[in-house]
A and B are shown apart, each in its own frame.
Chain A
């Protein structure tokens, strides 16, 4: 079946260091979304990418969607303690069933 993998599973960084998580799908996606889940909380939508090769920025966060629409990345510049949490990608399927396949998530810890 369709799978969406994320690497790394865990990442510990010193405050101020950069962080990147990668998302890879076994099939072509119609779009990709990114969510952040704080410890003990629920996922909160960050952004959606739709076009091949699309790049979007939100302050210190940069999101990319691959040319083949099978992979994506989230890069955080100069991490802060408020960035702590688990980051999930969610791939929109092209099969017409209108569901999302969530990645396994990357748990980020930021050391002050």
Chain B
């Protein structure tokens, strides 16, 4: 089956620790995105990548980092600098970097930091 996988589904960390969220797609999509969703709110863009070895900051990039070494992988690191990291994190991809194609979302990772 083609799609996007995110792991783990639930993640618990202590404050002050960095944590990396996995996102893998086998759709052969060029563009990939990371969003954050807080309860009762919409999706806010953290980072996006239009092509391998390139990525751009979204609206709330502070305290996060990404890499895009392979087309199919776009991991997100939540650093200790992120002041309020507890949230639902969604990874998405689209067929082309041009913003006129539907985004396919992964199942998400719920991160809880205490």
Q: Which residues of A contact B (CB under 8 A)?
A: 1, 6, 9, 30-31, 33, 35, 41-45, 48, 50, 88, 90, 92-93, 97-105, 107
Contact = CB atoms under 8 A, between A and B. Distances in A.
A84 to B, nearest CB: 15
Q: Interface size for chain B: under 10, 10 to 19, 20 to 34, or 35 or more residues?
A: 20 to 34
B43 A43 contact: yes
A54 B30 CA distance: 28
Interface in B42-101: 42-45, 48, 50, 56, 58-59, 90, 92, 97-100
B108 to A, nearest CB: 5
Interface of B: 31, 33, 35, 40-45, 48, 50, 56, 58-59, 90, 92, 97-100, 102-108
Contacts of B107: 41-42
B102 A48 contact: yes
B27 to A, nearest CB: 13
A100 B33 CA distance: 10
Nearest to A6: B42
B43 A98 contact: no
A109 B17 CA distance: 38
Contacts of A102: 35, 42-45
A88 B37 CA distance: 12
Contact of B59 (A1, A30, A31, A42): A1
A98 B106 contact: no
Given A1-B59, A42-B90, A100 B103 contact: yes
Nearest to B4: A42
A42 B108 contact: yes
